[in-house]
Structure 1
Amino acid sequence: MNINLLILYYSRHGSVATMAKHIARGAQQVANTHVVIRQLPDASFTTEQTSDPIPESGYPYCELDDLAECDGLAIGSPSYFGSMAAPVKLFLDQTSTLWMSGQLIDKPACAFASASSMHGGHEMTLQSMMIPLLHHGMVWAGLPYKNKALINTKAGGTPYGVTHLASHTSDTGLSDDEIELCVAQGKRLAELATALKKRS
C-alpha cells in the first residue's frame, strides 16, 4: 500500500521551505511513502494571487487536486502576528469543494511554522492552520513529548507541531533540535497516514 503525503508551505525568507525539506526526509523513512512538496504563491491584500503562474524557483505551486489526492498533509507558514500568512489562508479558503465532498475526512494533518521571536506566536500560528483542517475532518498529528528534543530545545518546537525560531540576526539555519523535530514530525505523519489508510 502506497501513501501520498503533501507537504505544502508558504515561505517568505526560506526558513519554512527548509523545514519542509526536513519533514519530507522524516516521512521518507516510512516504507512506501511518496512525498509531494508544493509551495504557495504570494497574495495581495485584495486576496488575489500576485505571483506568476509558474514559480521562478523551488517547487511547483499547489493545486486543489494535490490536496484532494493526498493521504496526509503537512502545512507550513511564517507567523504573522500569531496567525498564518495570507497566501496560506487564501488557499485554505478555496477548499470548500473538498469540504463538501468530504475528501479529507480521517486523513492526518500537521502544521509547521517559523517566527522571528520566541514569543512571536509559534503555537497560535499552528492553531490558526489547525482550525480549518479540523473542519475538513482531518486528524491532528502533533508532536508527543517522547521526542526528547521537544524538552531540550532552546529554539522552536511545540507539542502542537514543529516550529522554528528565526532570529532576524541569523540565517535560515535550523537548530539541531529543530531539525530533529522536523524529521520526527514527518515520520509520525507518514506512520499515521499508513495506519489510517489501512483502516479505511
Structure 2
Amino acid sequence: MMVKVAVIHHGNYGYTKTIAEYIALGAKEIAITVELYQSSEIEKNLSALDDANAIIFGSPTYFGSVSAEFKSFMDSTSQLWLKQKWKDKVAAAFTCANSPSGDQMSTLMQLFIFASQHSMIWAGSDLMPKMQEYNEGLEVYNKLGSWVGFGLAVRGDQGERIELEEVDIKAAKHFGKRIAKVAKKFK
C-alpha cells in the first residue's frame, strides 16, 4: 500500500530541519515517498501536497507560537481550507525550544487547531515517559511528556553544527514511523 508523507518545516537555526530529517527517516521505514519541504518553498506550490496521505508540520516555538514564517505558510492555505482539500489526511506536528517547556504545548495546540480546521485526522505521540517497563524493547522514550505532538528541548549554543542526543534522534525517527503507520491505516 503506497503511503506518501510530507514534512513541512521552518527554523532559523537548523534545529527544526535536523529534527524534520530524522522524522522523515523514520517515516521512510513505512512510506513509499517522504518529501521534506521548507515552509516558505511549499507555500508557493501547495499543490505538491495534494497526493500526501500525511502532513507533518514543524516549527520552532518562538514566544509561545509558531514562527512568523511558518504562520505565513499556514495563512497561505486558506483556499485549500475553503475547498477542504486536506480533509481526512493525517496530520501531526513537532516543535522545539531552548528549554524543556518553552511553551511548546501552545505551539503544538496551534498546529492541532490549524489541522482540525482543515478537517485533518490528528495523530500524536505514542511514547511513554522514561519508565522502561512501558517502553520495553524500544530503547526510546517521551523525554518531555508531550502526547499532542513531538516536542524537544535543544541547546541554543551549538553554533553551526546541530547535534541531537541519541535518544532524541530515536524518538524523532519513532515519531515519523508512527505517523506513516497511522496514514497507512487510514489510506
TM-score for the superposition, normalised by structure 1: 0.80
Residues in 1 aligned to 2:149 and 2:172: alpha-carbon distance in whole angstroms: 9
Determine if the alignment matches structure 1 residue 90 to structure 2 residue 72.
Answer: yes
21-30 or 112-121, which deviates more: 112-121
Match of 2:93 in 1: 111
Q: Which amino acid aligns with 1:2?
A: M
The count of aligned residue pairs is: 174
Unpaired runs of 5+ residues, structure 2, are: 130-134
Match of 2:60 in 1: 78
Match of 1:13 in 2: 13
Q: Which amino acid aligns with 2:178?
A: R
Match of 2:153 in 1: 165
Match of 1:40 in 2: 39
DSSP 3-state at the match of 1:192: helix
RMSD over aligned Cα atoms: 1.7
Residues in 2 aligned to 1:182 and 1:10: alpha-carbon distance in whole angstroms: 16
Contact 2:5/2:52, CA 8 A, preserved across alignment: yes
Residues in 2 aligned to 1:169 and 1:92: alpha-carbon distance in whole angstroms: 29
Contact 2:74/2:114, CA 8 A, preserved across alignment: yes
Q: Percent identity?
A: 30
TM-score for the superposition, normalised by structure 2: 0.86
Residues in 1 aligned to 2:69 and 2:7: alpha-carbon distance in whole angstroms: 15
Match of 2:132 in 1: none
Residues in 2 aligned to 1:160 and 1:170: alpha-carbon distance in whole angstroms: 28
Q: Which amino acid aligns with 1:10?
A: H
Residues in 1 aligned to 2:59 and 2:184: alpha-carbon distance in whole angstroms: 25
Q: Are residues 159 and 180 of structure 1, via their aligned partners in 2, closer, same or farther at CA, if it must alter by over 3 Å?
A: same
Match of 2:141 in 1: 150
**Deviation of the 1:84 alpha carbon:** 0.4
Q: Deviations over 1:53-85 (max 9, x none)?
A: xxxxxxxx2121123331101110011111101
